[in-house]
Structure 1
Amino acid sequence: MWEQLERYRNHFLQNEIKDVLKPSSINSHQNKEWAKAMEKRYICKCVPYCCTSTSTHLQNRAQLAYGWFALPKLMKELDSDIPLTHWKAVVSLTEFLLNPLNAQRAINEKDLVRKLKNAFMRMRLKLHKEEHQEVEMYLRIYNILSRNLDGAENIAKRKCLRDEFYKIIKNQEINKDGLASEILRNLTGKPKALEIFLEDPDNFLAMAEIFHQDPCRPHYPLHLWHHLCHLLEVAPEQGIELGFFELLHSRILNRLSNFWDMATKAFALLLRCAEGQRRFDAVDGVKLLYDVFVQPDENRRLLLPLQKVENWEYTVLALVNGLHSKRALWRSREFTQLPCYVGRLMQSTEDNPRLQLYCLKAFRELGVMPCIKRYIIANWLEDICKLFCLDAEAECARDSLVDWLRRDIADSS
C-alpha cells in the first residue's frame, strides 16, 4: 500500500529507473537533493547583520507637514539652542528650499540669508562647536539660494560670506571647496552680483592668491574656473595686473593636466584687452598655439593621458582673440599649415557649433594677410561653401566669410 502511494510522486523518475530502485528510495534521494538546493538558496537570501540597522533618514529630519506652515516652523527650530533640533531644521530646510517658490519666500519674508550668515559665521569663528556637519549643510543652502536672483544679490552684498568662501577654497577643505566654488559661480553668473564682486578688489585678489598658492597644481574645481572666467570676461586688465597672464601661459606652455580646457579659455579672455595683446606678442603666442595645433601629428607615446587635447574650442578662441595686432598677423604668415589645421577642425566638428563659429572667425582673421587669403581661396573656399552649419550664428559667419572671399576674387579679376 505504501509503495503504491510512493509511485504517485516523481512520475518521470519512477518510469525511468523503476527497475533499479524502489519508489520509496527514489523519493528519498529526491528529498535529499531538494534540501541541499534549498540550503544554498537560503544562504543567498540571508541578509548580513551589518545591514539590519534601521535607516537614519527620518531621524535627521524635522517633524513637519510640508505646506504653508512648514517654513515658519523650520525658521523657529533654526533658532533653537538645542543642537539636535537645530540640525534637523537645517537638514529639512535643504530639501524644503529646492522648491523655488519656497526659496523666494524664505529670502524675502524670513530674511533667511542673514539668519544663516549669523549661524555660519559662529561656526567658522569657532564660537559654536560643530557637532554634526552644519557648515556643509549651510553651504548647501547657500548653493540653493544663490540660484535665485534676490538670494544671489543678498549673499554677494555680505563681504564676510565672500571672504569665508574664498578661505574654504584656499584651504581645500574636503566636501566644502566644491560647494563654495559652485556658490561663487552662481553669484558671478548674475549681472548685479558680478557688479558687486568687481566693486571690491579683494575678491580678485583672493582669487589670485588661490591660483598662485601652487602654480603646478594639476586640478582646480570646475566651478572655480567658471567663476574666474566670469571675472576675466568683464575685467581682463585687472586679471593681468594680478599675474594671471603669466600663470595661464605657463600652464599652457608646460602642458599641465587638461591645459586645453578652462585654462585656455581664461587665457583667451585675457587677450581681449590691449595689454593682453601686447604680452601675447611678447611671448610669441602664435607659436605657442601652433604647437598645440600640431599635437595630432606628433608621437602619441610622448603625451601623458591628460595632455591630449579633447576639445579644440578654446584653443581656436585664443587664436581668434590673439590675431588683432599686426605683429601677430605677420607672425602667422610663417606657419603655412595653420589654416589647414583650422579647416580640418571646422570640417570634423559635428556637435559643437561654437567650435565651428570660431574656426570661421579664425579664417576671417588670418585672411587679413593677403598671402594667407589667397591660400584660403585656392584651397578652402569650396569646402567653406559646402559646410553644413550647426546653428544660425555659424551660418551667418560662413555667408559673410564666403562673400568676403568671393569679393576679393572679383576685385582681382
Structure 2
Amino acid sequence: MWEQLARYRNHFLQHEIKDVMKPTSINSLQTTEWTHHMEKRNICKCMPLCCNSTSTHLADRAELAYGWFALPKLLKELDSDVRLTHWKAVVSLSEFVLNPLNAQRAIIEMDLVRKLKNAFMRMRLKHHKEEHREVEMYLRIYNILSRNLDGAENIANRKCLRVEFYKIIKNQEPIKDELASEILRNLTCKPKVLGIFLEDPENFSALAEIFRQDPCRPQFPLHLWHHLCDMLEVAPDRGIELGLFELLHSRILNRLSNFWDMNTKAFALLLCCAEGQRRFDAVDGVKLLYDVFAQPDENPRMLLPRQKVENWEYTALALLNGLHSKRALWRSREFTQLPCYVGRLMTSTTDNPRLQIYCLKVFRELGVMPCIKRYIIGNWLQDICKLFCLDADAECARDALVDWLRRDIADSS
C-alpha cells in the first residue's frame, strides 16, 4: 500500500525513471535536494545585523479607522496629556487632512488652525518639551492646510504663526526651514492672503532681514524666493526701501551660485517702479546684463559649475524691465552685440515660450533707438518672420513686432 501511495508524488520523475529507482527512493532524493536548496534560500533572505530595526509605521499612528468619525477622535487625542498619544494623533492627522474634503471640514467645523496654533506655540516657547518631532509634523499639517483658501486665510491672520515661520527660516533649522518656506509661498500665491501679508510691514522687514543676514549665502530655499517674488510683484518700492536692490545687484555682479535664476527674477521685479529704474541706471545695469549675455563667448574654464547660465528667461526679463528709461536706451547703443545675443536666444529656444516673448519685446524696446532699429531690420527681420512660435502669445508678439518694423520701412520709403 505504501509503495502505491508513494507513486502519487513527483509524477514526472516517477514516469521517467520508474524502471531505475523505486518510488520511495525517488521521493527521498527529491526531499533531500529540496531541503538543501531551501537552506541556501533562507541564508540569502537573512537581513544584515545593521538593518535589524523594526518599522515604526504602525507604532506612530493612532488606532482608528479612517472615516467620517476619525476627525473628532483625532482632535480629542490631540488634547491628551500623554505624549505618545498626542504624537500618534499628530502623525495620523497629517495623513488624514491630505484629503481636501477632510481638510475643509477640519478648518471650518473643527477650527483646526487655532488648536494646532496653541500646541505649536507651546512647543516653540518651550512650555512643552519636544519628545518626538512634533514641530516638524505641525509644519507639515500647516503646509497641507495652506493649500486651502480658508486655511491660508486663517493662518495668515495669526501674526504669531507668521513670526515663528520667519524665525525658523532665519535660524536655518534643518527640514523645518523648507517646510516654513513652502507654507509662506502657499499663502502669498493667493491674492487675498497676499494683501493680508502686505498690510503688516513687519512681514516684509522680516523677509528682507533673512536675505540680508548673509549676502554671500550660496543658496536660499526655492520656496522662499517665490515668496519674495510674490511680494515684490505688488510692492517693489517697499523692497527697495529695505535694501534688496543693493543685495540682489551684488549677487548678480559677483556671479553667486545660480544667480541667473530666482535672484535675477527678483531683481527684474524691482525694476518695475521708478526708483528701481533710477538705481538701475545709476549702477549701469545695461552693462551688467550685457556681461551676462556675453558669457557664452567667455572661457568656460573661468566659470564655476553653478555660474554657467542654464536658463536665460529671467535675464531677458531683467533687460526688458530695465529699458524703460532714456538713459538705459542711450547706453544700449554702445553695445552693438546686444541685439545679436537677444536674437540668438530667441531663435535657439525650443521649450520656453516666455523667453521668446521677452526677446521679442526687448527688440521692440531696443528699436526705439533709430540706429538699433535699422540694425534689426537689416539683420533680424527675416529671422523674426520665420520664427516658429511656441504658443499663441509669442505669435502675437512676433506679428506685432514684424508689423511695427515693416511699417517703418513703408514710412521711410
Counterpart in 1 of 2:383? 383
| Paired residue type of 2:242 | L
Counterpart in 2 of 1:306? 306
Unaligned runs of 5+ in 2: 1-12, 17-31
**How much does 1:55 deviate?**
2.0
Cα distance in 2, alignment partners of residues 58 and 45 from structure 1: 23
**How much does 1:46 deviate?**
2.6
Counterpart in 1 of 2:227? 227
Cα distance in 2, alignment partners of residues 261 and 271 from structure 1: 16
TM-score by length of 2: 0.90
| Paired residue type of 2:88 | K
The residue correspondences of 1:205-354 to structure 2 (distance < 5 A) are: 205-354=205-354
**How much does 1:205 deviate?**
0.5
1:60 counterpart SS class: coil
Cα distance in 2, alignment partners of residues 268 and 93 from structure 1: 41
Cα distance in 2, alignment partners of residues 101 and 280 from structure 1: 48
Counterpart in 2 of 1:191? 191
Q: Please list the CA deviations of residues 248-268 of structure 1 after superposition, one character each: whole Å capped at 9, or x if unmatched.
A: 000000000000000000000
The residue correspondences of 1:145-184 to structure 2 (distance < 5 A) are: 145-184=145-184
1:219 counterpart SS class: coil
Find out whether 1:410 has 2:402 as its counterpart. no
**How much does 1:56 deviate?**
1.2
Cα distance in 2, alignment partners of residues 118 and 396 from structure 1: 53
**How much does 1:208 deviate?**
1.2
Unaligned runs of 5+ in 1: 1-7, 12-31
**How much does 1:45 deviate?**
3.2
Cα distance in 1, alignment partners of residues 81 and 142 from structure 2: 22
Q: Please list the CA deviations of residues 122-176 of structure 1 after superposition, one character each: whole Å capped at 9, or x if unmatched.
A: 0000001111100000000000000000000000000000000000000000110
1:336 counterpart SS class: coil
Find out whether 1:395 has 2:395 as its counterpart. yes
Cα distance in 2, alignment partners of residues 224 and 290 from structure 1: 28
Q: Please list the CA deviations of residues 29-50 of structure 1 after superposition, one character each: whole Å capped at 9, or x if unmatched.
A: xxx9999998766543332244
| Paired residue type of 1:384 | I
Counterpart in 2 of 1:89? 89
Count of aligned pairs: 386
Taking only the aligned residue pairs, the percentage that are identical comes to: 85
Cα distance in 1, alignment partners of residues 293 and 399 from structure 2: 26
Counterpart in 2 of 1:116? 116
Cα distance in 2, alignment partners of residues 202 and 116 from structure 1: 23
Find out whether 1:361 has 2:361 as its counterpart. yes
**How much does 1:66 deviate?**
1.1
Q: Please list the CA deviations of residues 231-276 of structure 1 after superposition, one character each: whole Å capped at 9, or x if unmatched.
A: 1000000000000000000000000000000000000000000000
| Paired residue type of 1:273 | C
| Paired residue type of 1:391 | D
TM-score by length of 1: 0.90
Cα distance in 2, alignment partners of residues 393 and 359 from structure 1: 13
Cα distance in 1, alignment partners of residues 215 and 37 from structure 2: 63
Cα distance in 1, alignment partners of residues 235 and 333 from structure 2: 31
Let me know the Cα RMSD of the aligned residues. 1.9
**How much does 1:333 deviate?**
0.4
Q: Please list the CA deviations of residues 195-247 of structure 1 after superposition, one character each: whole Å capped at 9, or x if unmatched.
A: 01000000010011111111100000000000000010000000000000000
Cα distance in 2, alignment partners of residues 37 and 136 from structure 1: 48
Cα distance in 2, alignment partners of residues 101 and 42 from structure 1: 47
| Paired residue type of 1:159 | K
Cα distance in 1, alignment partners of residues 329 and 55 from structure 2: 66
**How much does 1:293 deviate?**
0.3
Cα distance in 2, alignment partners of residues 389 and 310 from structure 1: 21
2:59 counterpart SS class: helix
**How much does 1:52 deviate?**
4.0
Cα distance in 2, alignment partners of residues 114 and 42 from structure 1: 53
Cα distance in 2, alignment partners of residues 56 and 110 from structure 1: 29
| Paired residue type of 2:198 | L
Counterpart in 1 of 2:60? 60
Counterpart in 2 of 1:27? none
1:320 counterpart SS class: helix
**How much does 1:385 deviate?**
0.6
Cα distance in 2, alignment partners of residues 99 and 36 from structure 1: 51
Counterpart in 2 of 1:4? none
Cα distance in 2, alignment partners of residues 107 and 375 from structure 1: 60
